[in-house]
């Protein structure tokens, strides 16, 4: 884990660290080099003549308050691609709170690199081990809270990212179960409950079974229980965990399959969220549900036209086997609502539709809910955390998109319209109206894309922690919102 500390003068900084500061910072040393760097209107960076530092980077003041376009992160990414030092001194004397959260998550997330998977020969590079915050004495108490929370958020993000980045021939449903059990074992407040393929059939999760039965690696359902208090309402999170998505008999083209090992990011992020909550020791009860399956081709693979029955008795015509994520989510949402019929809310997350990327791009997660207080709370949490959502419509005008002549519902609209919202309309049938429910389509945000490559991002864990912390400030015994 990357550690942190606070100082109020640069004289207390570790030797040979990397100083990153505002160009106008009043705490910078007086020198000809610093004066010359201050004159530049862009990034000023040097590794020469900057003793006792290994590197000095001065960044324009405007970037330190640019939460919308993440300008500070964009400037830092190339600088830290090959770190000059294991220690960073970060000037936080005048920085926007959202920007600080974004930057801290980025820095703490340096604990994971693809090279850590040991699948590629690489040279040992310098790794960030400590973040030193340069602050004013009166800022320290508030900063302590921010740093601790963002460090815990990053811990969950790193766990989720590591799982998601593992190739799918290794990261099977059973592998995810075993890794989750290892990670949860370090926290006494976390307990894992596993349903194997036999349990899934016996408990009537026919949609999850239909998706997973064609694979050599059978499906699993994992419920992670966290009891930070002995009683009170349970908050539920559900994640899509398709460890690889071929599209099934509705086969994807090769280019569309390349990143499909990441189709389990929703489930990985639910696990990461549970680890963050346990690390923060939040006084709350939570159940995280991971619906795990591989959508494969085989003699037992589901066929277009198959009708399967969910654990709440709803039948679904599977007219497109490549719309499998909503099937496993639907069963998991219904299962969670049966386990906790008085749940405070259920929030699901999934890399569900490419359509949401066309609508919102890669910066915003799609939010779909019919519960206005929950919509407002999640939208506000997104703005406060810098992990934002944008609402898409969800009402009865979408009903025709899920009509089926043979079953209660069909899993995709035959007119290929409103794909993201139609998927959410299908899902809403599986959460009782007495439980507030929201769906997050994270197809655009679950991955970080750079130079034509994709890696897991760990989003929307920051959003969900911010929302959860805010929700805990309410009277938790009352219906949402208290």
**What are the backbone angles phi and psi of residue 291, rounded to the nearest 5°?**
-95, 105
> Residue 365, Cα to own-chain centre: how many angstroms?
10
| List 326, 375, 384, 459, catalytic entry | 326
Write down the residue that tokens 């302590």 correspond to.
144
Would you put residue 438 in left (φ > 0), alpha (ψ -120 to 50) or beta?
Answer: beta
Structure tokens at 179: 């890794």
Closest Cα partner for 442 from 157, 162, 107?
157
Query: Any residues with CB less than 8 A from the CB of 246 and at least 6 apart, and which?
Result: 252, 257, 260, 295, 296, 297
- CA distances to 7, 375, 441, 480 from 353, rounded to whole Å, are 46, 20, 7, 28
**The Cα angle at residue 70 between residues 64 and 73, in degrees rounded to 5:** 75
**The Cα angle at residue 161 between residues 104 and 130, in degrees rounded to 5:** 35
Q: Are strands 285-295 and 220-227 parallel, antiparallel or unpaired?
A: antiparallel
| List 38, 252, 339, 383, catalytic entry | 252
Query: Any residues with CB less than 8 A from the CB of 447 and at least 6 apart, and which?
Result: 259, 262, 265, 362, 454, 455, 456, 457
Distance CA 402, CA 430 (A): 13
**Within a 10 A sphere around the Cβ of 174, how many other Cβ atoms?**
16
5: enclosing H helix or E strand: strand 3-7
What is 276-319 written as a DSSP string?
HHHHHT-S-EEEEEEEEEEE--STT---TTEEEE-TTS-EEEES
Distance CA 463, CA 97 (A): 15
Query: Any residues with CB less than 8 A from the CB of 210 and at least 6 apart, and which?
Result: 302, 306, 308, 318, 327
Structure tokens at 154: 């990053």
Closest Cα partner for 389 from 454, 426, 441, 458?
441
Distance CA 257, CA 266 (A): 17
Residue 103 and residue 90 in contact, taking contact as beta carbons nearer than 8 Å: yes
Structure tokens at 24: 């106008």
State the helix-helix crossing angle for 140-165 and 173-184, rounded to 10 degrees. Answer: 150
Active site residue 252: yes
| Catalytic residue list | 252, 326
């Amino acid at each position: 884990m990357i550690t942190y500390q606070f100082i109020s003068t640069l004289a207390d900084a570790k030797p040979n660290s990397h100083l990153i500061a505002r160009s106008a910072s009043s705490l910078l040393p007086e020198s000809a080099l610093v004066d010359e760097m201050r004159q530049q209107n862009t990034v000023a960076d040097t590794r020469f003549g900057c003793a006792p530092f290994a590197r000095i980077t001065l960044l324009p003041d405007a970037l330190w308050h640019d939460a919308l376009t993440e300008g500070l992160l964009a400037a830092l990414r190339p600088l830290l691609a090959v770190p000059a030092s294991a220690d960073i001194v970060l000037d936080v004397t005048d920085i926007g709170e959202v920007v600080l959260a974004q930057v801290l998550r980025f820095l703490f997330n340096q604990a994971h690199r693809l090279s850590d998977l040991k699948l590629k020969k690489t040279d040992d590079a310098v790794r960030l081990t400590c973040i030193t915050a340069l602050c004013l004495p009166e800022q320290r108490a508030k900063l302590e809270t921010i740093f601790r929370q963002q460090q815990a958020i990053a811990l969950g993000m790193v766990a989720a990212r590591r799982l998601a980045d593992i190739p799918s021939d290794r990261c099977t449903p059973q592998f995810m179960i075993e890794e989750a059990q290892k990670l949860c074992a370090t926290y006494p407040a976390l307990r894992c409950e596993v349903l194997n393929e036999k349990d899934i059939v016996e408990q009537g999760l026919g949609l999850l079974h239909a998706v997973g039965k064609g694979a050599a690696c059978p499906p699993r359902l994992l419920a992670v229980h966290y009891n930070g208090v002995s009683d009170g309402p349970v908050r539920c999170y559900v994640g899509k965990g398709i460890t690889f998505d071929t599209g099934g008999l509705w086969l994807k083209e090769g280019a569309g399959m390349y990143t499909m090992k990441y189709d389990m990011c929703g489930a990985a992020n639910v696990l990461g969220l549970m680890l963050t909550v346990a690390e923060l020791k939040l006084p709350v009860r939570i159940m995280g549900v991971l619906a795990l399956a591989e959508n494969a081709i085989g003699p037992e693979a589901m066929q277009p036209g198959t009708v399967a029955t969910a654990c709440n008795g709803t039948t679904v015509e599977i007219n497109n086997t490549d719309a499998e994520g909503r099937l496993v989510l639907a069963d998991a949402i219904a299962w969670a609502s049966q386990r906790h019929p008085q749940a405070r809310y259920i929030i699901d997350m999934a890399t569900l539709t490419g359509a949401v990327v066309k609508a919102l791009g890669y910066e915003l997660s799609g939010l779909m809910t019919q519960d206005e207080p929950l919509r407002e709370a999640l939208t506000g949490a997104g703005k406060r955390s810098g992990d934002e959502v944008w609402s898409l419509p969800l009402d009865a005008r979408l009903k025709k998109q899920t009509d089926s002549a043979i079953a209660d519902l069909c899993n995709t609209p035959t007119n290929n319209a409103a794909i993201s919202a139609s998927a959410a309309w299908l899902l809403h049938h599986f959460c009782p109206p007495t439980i507030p429910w929201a769906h997050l389509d994270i197809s655009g945000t679950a991955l970080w894309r750079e130079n034509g490559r994709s890696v897991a991002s760990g989003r929307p864990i920051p959003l969900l922690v911010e929302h959860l912390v805010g929700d805990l400030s309410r009277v938790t015994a009352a219906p949402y919102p208290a």
